[in-house]
Amino acid sequence: MGTVTIQEVAAYAGVSSATVSRVLNGHPRVSAELRERVLEASRALGYQPNRVARRLRIGSSTSDVVGLIISDIENPFFISVVRGVEDVAYANRLSVVLCNTDESPAKQQMYLNVMLAERVGGLIISPAPGSDYQELDRLRQKGIPIVLLDRRAERYDFDTVQVDNVHGAFMAVSHLIELGHRRIALIGGTAGLTTARDRYEGYRNALEKAGIALDKSLIKQGDYKKASGYQLTLDLMQLREPPRAIFVANNLMTLGTLQALQELRIRVPQDVALVGFDDMPWSGQLCPPLTAVAQPTYDLGQEAGRLLLRRMPDRDAAAQTIVLQTRLIIRESSGARLDKEPRHE
């Protein structure tokens, strides 16, 4: 027992199930008396429509659940993005279900199947490296609006929300150059992700503009996880001539770098200057407070939510890309001279 069906409500109220449905969905053509009886019956029995049956009948179009597939839930960046999406969704009476692929294409495929199976009303996804965009395209063709988050698809035309990674990285590295550094290492991001490529490009642009030659031995490729930042920093510091400054392409790797330097008893910024990509709420309480390229993470989520909301009504408008700007927050780790009352928030 447990579930009560529309039939039982109808029987209880002495009407047909069609009438019950009409009342509950606010159809105009129902007499006040029957409406009252139905509502009463519905309340008395504690009726909750079976949404599975409902969606089967209606089709995907009206699901008020949107899926949000992120690639690393342990990254505070995505958490903040999620909050942005949630707030926009909640304001529009939509529910958000979140799935975490852990940067694994296999898990991503699994969750895409879930999304398709549940016939969500829309989907926001930050694709895992090595994603099968054709698969995403298939979902879209089956009528699920899709917005890409943070990472572009190269040869497909999806709605996308991202930041200007090239410029962000450029600012970070230029900042180090202005402070007099010329041997600046890069701990780069995951191969195959547009963010990694873009941040690498920003790094190169900054060096090039300053007339500094690229030194391959100072360029490491990580995977956006803390452990790789840790390990690659150890590697860098074992070079015959270690760098005096490091630009790390994301926040988690920066934490690894910080830990490695701390364990090596290397002082930041005196011995090595450090700038990270992507700020965190506690970056100012780290030791030392971290200079970082802040992304408008929450806005990113909001924009993605809004874009999806716009897309849900008309499925086949032209795809659109929204690019938000980053901002360099200068704290102590880069070694810049700070004003006397530092406002690390």
For DNA, give the closer residue by CB, 49 or 130: 49
Distances 76 to 72, 82, 250, 283, 297 between C-alpha atoms, Å: 9, 10, 11, 11, 9
Question: Mask of contacts with DNA, 56-75, x by CB under 7 A?
Answer: xxxx----------------
* Piece of 10-18, 81-89, 269-277, 283-291 that binds DNA (CB under 7 A): 10-18
- Assess 5 for contact with DNA (CB under 7 A): yes
Q: Which residues are paired to 146 by β-bridges?
A: 123
- Assess 92 for contact with DNA (CB under 7 A): no
Lookup: tokens for 308: 């999806």
In 3D space, the residue among 199, 330, 179 whose CA is nearest the CA of residue 245 turns out to be 179
d(CA 275, CA 263): 18
Lookup: tokens for 177: 């150059």
Q: Which residues are paired to 162 by β-bridges?
A: 323
For residue 210, the partner it binds in DNA, a copy of itself, none, with Cβ less than 5 to 8 A by kind, is: none
- Assess 30 for contact with DNA (CB under 7 A): yes
For residue 141, the partner it binds in DNA, a copy of itself, none, with Cβ less than 5 to 8 A by kind, is: a copy of itself
Phi and psi for 245 in degrees, rounded to 5? -155, 145
In 3D space, the residue among 282, 252, 281, 257 whose CA is nearest the CA of residue 268 turns out to be 257
Q: How far is the CB of 139 from DNA (least distance, A)?
A: 15
Distances 214 to 194, 198, 209, 229, 343 between C-alpha atoms, Å: 21, 16, 12, 21, 34
d(CA 294, CA 315): 33
Lookup: tokens for 17: 């199930």
Q: How far is the CB of 220 from DNA (least distance, A)?
A: 48
For residue 259, the partner it binds in a copy of itself, DNA, none, with Cβ less than 5 to 8 A by kind, is: a copy of itself
- Assess 44 for contact with DNA (CB under 7 A): no
Token pair 């530092």 is found at 342
Q: Which of 36, 40, 43, 53 binds DNA (CB under 7 A)?
A: 53
For DNA, give the closer residue by CB, 14 or 180: 14
- The size of the interface with DNA (CB under 7 A), counted in residues, is 30
For residue 109, the partner it binds in a copy of itself, DNA, none, with Cβ less than 5 to 8 A by kind, is: none
- Assess 334 for contact with DNA (CB under 7 A): no
d(CA 85, CA 99): 13
d(CA 18, CA 80): 44
* Piece of 53-61, 137-145, 153-161, 255-263 that binds DNA (CB under 7 A): 53-61
Q: How far is the CB of 84 from a copy of itself (least distance, A)?
A: 12
197 contacts: CB under 8 Å, gap ≥ 6: none
Binding site for a copy of itself (CB under 8 A): 1-3, 46, 48, 50-53, 55-56, 65, 73-74, 79-80, 82-83, 86, 90, 95-100, 102, 107, 110-111, 113-114, 116-119, 138, 141-143, 226, 255, 258-259, 262, 281-282, 284-289
**Distance in angstroms between the alpha carbons of the first and the last residue of the chain:** 55
d(CA 98, CA 149): 14
For a copy of itself, give the closer residue by CB, 76 or 168: 76
- Assess 259 for contact with DNA (CB under 7 A): no
Residues in contact with DNA by the rule CB under 7 A: 3, 5-7, 14-22, 24-25, 28-31, 33-34, 47, 49-50, 53-54, 56-59
